[in-house]
Chains A and B, each alone.
Chain A
């Protein structure tokens, strides 16, 4: 799966968590723009992990602030 396809699937998974209806671009931040708290982040990360059958450890999560960084990380983790 290429980056665009990965991005499309992640965009679908974000929808239920995107309560404020923010337009999703690569520069959107989870903490700042989407205003997610730690519980929302945990549920969302679990959804991504299950969808792609990967682990995104806390160590890796600390490096992911924007949607674009998440898409890159998932693309990389899927090898």
Chain B
């Protein structure tokens, strides 16, 4: 009889990963990719493994998940519109709430068009694969998110990556594109692995000089960076030069969904030609009503933004002072990324922090650049100054226990 675990089949390609996980978990380590939040107490606290845990890896930057107005809007929508739309946006799946959240986005960004997708992943997948077709060129940062790469792969355009945040490398590639070919430059405001921002002002100027359209993914900056929380492009004064902003509801907005906003006069045609928009069910009414309410509150969240920046600066300085290696020399976003020497010690540190009562994200290749293992911390505007000090103490104790500092 053939042992199903040793026979060769389509799953054989996953054997190295299966073996790596087996070796890691055989040490008795808690599986970092299988944690259950048993109860969620607030945007910053949950019960994990029966233990009260501070949440520092949720991307819930603005802490909107338990906002009373947001919750009330969702409950009301459940009562009035039911639990789901059971249909595509272009058929029976556009309710009043879908229009309302697109109105809120247009106002939030002061742009002409807004199109809501069921997830942020689908927003990148749909827009990129649809606008860049055969014979066109996509020039993108090598550290782009998986949804951007998958959007490139799904379309028929020529895909040309350049070294992370390297303006000259980007310029060289744009210059070499054949005359007359369509060009799309894809950038991110905040790169979520290291928490660093892009020099959008310079990069967008170069892109425009070469006649390229520009798409910027502002998933990790919405609500927080820029005078009105519109993102890094707004902060650097170049939002009017961006053709397409991609964003998500699953971070600062505090629910799920994705979107693209644009001033392009023909943008509305996307609703008919973009397959990841057409061939999937639309978001449930409760989700779009919570999102609309949250987005409108984020327009007036200046004080929360200031507090979140304060949290980011305090944690960054505190971890540097205790000898941790961080992804950025200065705090550039609400993500503070702690560089681990290897996966084994990264996983051990992750577990030690969990035992201290702190949840962070363990990130490892291939999601990470340069094969790094990272403990990614994302701060929340609802973290108190005391919680941030508690977090620094937890890092210090866990780091000493694991031998990283």
Partner among A39, A55, A60 whose Cβ is within 8 Å of the Cβ of B173 = A55
Give me 12 other A-B pairs in contact (C-beta within 8 A), A39-B370, A58-B160 excluded: A37-B371, A38-B366, A49-B172, A53-B176, A54-B176, A55-B137, A55-B173, A55-B176, A58-B158, A58-B159, A59-B158, A60-B158
For the complex of A and B, 10 pairs with smallest distance between CB atoms: A57-B158, A58-B159, A55-B176, A57-B160, A59-B158, A57-B159, A55-B160, A42-B142, A59-B159, A55-B173
**By the criterion of a CB under 8 Å from any partner CB, how many residues of chain B are at the interface?**
17
Q: Is A50 an interface residue (CB 8 A)?
A: yes
Partner among A38, A49, A58 whose Cβ is within 8 Å of the Cβ of B176 = A49
A37 to B137, CA, bound (A): 25
Contacts from A to B (Cβ < 8 Å): 37-39, 42, 46, 49-50, 53-55, 57-60
What sequence of 0s and 1s flags, for each residue 151-177 of chain B, a beta carbon within 8 Å of any chain A beta carbon?
Answer: 010000011111100000100110011
Chain A to chain B contacts (Cβ below 8 Å), 12 pairs:
A37-B371, A38-B366, A39-B371, A42-B142, A42-B161, A49-B172, A49-B176, A55-B160, A57-B158, A58-B160, A59-B158, A59-B159
Contact across chains for A46 and B176 when beta carbons are under 8 A apart:
no
A34 to B160, CA, bound (A): 23
Contacts from B to A (Cβ < 8 Å): 137, 142, 152, 158-163, 169, 172-173, 176-177, 366, 370-371
Residues of A within 8 A of B366 (CB): 38
A49 to B371, CA, bound (A): 24
Task: Write the chain B residue with the least CB distance to A56.
Answer: B160
A60 to B176, CA, bound (A): 15
A53 to B137, CA, bound (A): 16
Task: Write the chain A residue with the least CB distance to B153.
Answer: A58
Task: Write the chain A residue with the least CB distance to B177.
Answer: A55
Residues of B within 8 A of A58 (CB): 152, 158-161
A37 to B161, CA, bound (A): 16
Residues of B within 8 A of A50 (CB): 172
- Whether A42 contacts B159 in the complex (CB less than 8 A), given A49-B172, A53-B176, comes out as no
A55 to B157, CA, bound (A): 14
Residues of B within 8 A of A38 (CB): 366
A55 to B181, CA, bound (A): 13
A37 to B369, CA, bound (A): 12
Nearest Cβ on chain B to A55's Cβ, whole angstroms: 5
Contact across chains for B160 and A46 when beta carbons are under 8 A apart:
no
Residues of A within 8 A of B159 (CB): 57-59
Contact across chains for A46 and B371 when beta carbons are under 8 A apart:
no
Residues of B within 8 A of A42 (CB): 142, 161, 163
Nearest Cβ on chain A to B228's Cβ, whole angstroms: 36
Task: Write the chain B residue with the least CB distance to A55.
Answer: B176
Residues of A within 8 A of B158 (CB): 55, 57-60
Nearest Cβ on chain A to B24's Cβ, whole angstroms: 21
A39 to B163, CA, bound (A): 10
A34 to B158, CA, bound (A): 26
A51 to B162, CA, bound (A): 15
Residues of A within 8 A of B173 (CB): 49, 55
A60 to B159, CA, bound (A): 9
Residues of A within 8 A of B161 (CB): 42, 58
Contact across chains for A57 and B137 when beta carbons are under 8 A apart:
yes
Residues of A within 8 A of B371 (CB): 37, 39
Residues of B within 8 A of A37 (CB): 371
Nearest Cβ on chain A to B293's Cβ, whole angstroms: 41
A37 to B371, CA, bound (A): 10
Partner among A46, A54, A55 whose Cβ is within 8 Å of the Cβ of B163 = A46
A53 to B142, CA, bound (A): 19
Nearest Cβ on chain B to A76's Cβ, whole angstroms: 14
Residues of A within 8 A of B137 (CB): 55, 57
A54 to B161, CA, bound (A): 13
Task: Write the chain B residue with the least CB distance to A38.
Answer: B366
A60 to B157, CA, bound (A): 11
Nearest Cβ on chain B to A3's Cβ, whole angstroms: 21
A49 to B168, CA, bound (A): 13
A46 to B173, CA, bound (A): 10
- The winner among A38, A46, A54 for most chain B CB atoms within 10 A is A46
